[in-house]
Amino acid sequence: MAKRADENQFEIIQKLRSIGVSVQMIHTVGFGCPDAILGWLGKNYLIEIKTDDGKLDPYQKKWHDLWKGQVSVVRTWEEAFNVLGIKIC
């Protein structure tokens, strides 16, 4: 079953790319894998994009619980920028 993109995904990805962030979509891996890997200033970040009221499904919850590295849930481009340590004026 293909995963449906959240309605805010396009805007978030567009804003990230507009400032030079590398974005690789990985949501098709499945099994709870996050939506994207971000590359910024020599570091990688994993993000799961959710709408305002979106929740992790059981596969995502398990993946997040077992992952030993960084992973963040973001709902807006501002939250995505915050994950990267980018201050918004």
Q: How confident is the model at residue 9 (pLDDT cuts 50, 70, 90)?
A: very high
pLDDT of residue 4: 67
Q: Which domains does the chain have, with CATH numbers?
A: 9-83 (3.40.1350.10)
Specify whether the CB–CB gap between 50 and 74 falls below 8 A: yes
pTM greater than 0.85 (yes/no): yes
pLDDT of residue 1: 44
Specify whether the CB–CB gap between 64 and 50 falls below 8 A: no
pLDDT of residue 89: 79
Mean pLDDT (the chain, rounded): 94
